[in-house]
């Protein structure tokens, strides 16, 4: 496995809609493995393929160690409620902001073998899934920020 270079804003690929995955092969498995390693190395909770220069609908999310979720061709089926919280992004180092998103989501996606599955998530996992799915549509969290937060403020959030 390899650590991939993370694409930083303003690279064009970050604002492009990604192509659907049609081939569930060893190349896709290698991409998923490398994306996971890259995300862990960068201390992230999610990573989308365009963030490593690949214009495909592929993302990984892991908010608790050992519970990685691989999303291929994901789509949000249901959303409800609202939550506001702090978000950052590996493609925007040291930039954080408050973002409002639905509190609960239901997502349909495919796994690395092409099988469909659904996942329902609330709170922080719902936020992480939506953030990564947005990346696959070329939507950046900065377009949803209501207020930017300094690193000093971020440290105070962590102490609460």
Q: Kindly list the catalytic residues.
A: 132
Structure tokens at 151: 């690193």
Could you give the C-alpha distances from 141 to 20, 32, 134, 136, in angstroms and in order?
21, 22, 8, 12
Pick from 81, 33, 59: which is nearest to 128 by CA? 59
Which residue do the tokens 């393929």 mark? Answer: 49
Compute the distance between CA of residue 134 and CA of residue 129 in angstroms, rounded to an integer.
9
Please report, in range form, the residues annotated as the binding site for Fe cation.
Answer: 89, 131, 135
Residues 106 and 76: beta-carbon distance below 8 Å:
yes
């Amino acid at each position: 496995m390899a650590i991939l270079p993370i694409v930083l804003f303003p690279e064009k690929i970050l604002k492009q809609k990604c192509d659907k995955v049609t081939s569930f092969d060893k190349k896709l498995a290698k991409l998923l493995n490398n994306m996971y390693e890259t995300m862990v190395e960068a201390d992230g909770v999610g990573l989308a393929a365009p963030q490593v220069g690949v214009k495909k609908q592929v993302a990984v999310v892991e908010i608790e160690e050992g519970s990685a979720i691989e999303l291929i061709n994901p789509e949000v089926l249901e959303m409800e409620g609202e939550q506001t919280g702090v978000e950052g992004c590996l493609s925007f180092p040291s930039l954080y902001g408050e973002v409002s998103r639905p509190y609960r989501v239901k997502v349909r996606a495919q796994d690395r073998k092409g099988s469909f599955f659904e996942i329902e998530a609330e709170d922080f996992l719902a936020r992480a899934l939506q953030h990564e799915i947005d990346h696959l549509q070329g939507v950046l969290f900065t377009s949803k920020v209501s207020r930017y937060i300094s690193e000093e403020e971020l440290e105070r959030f962590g102490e609460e």
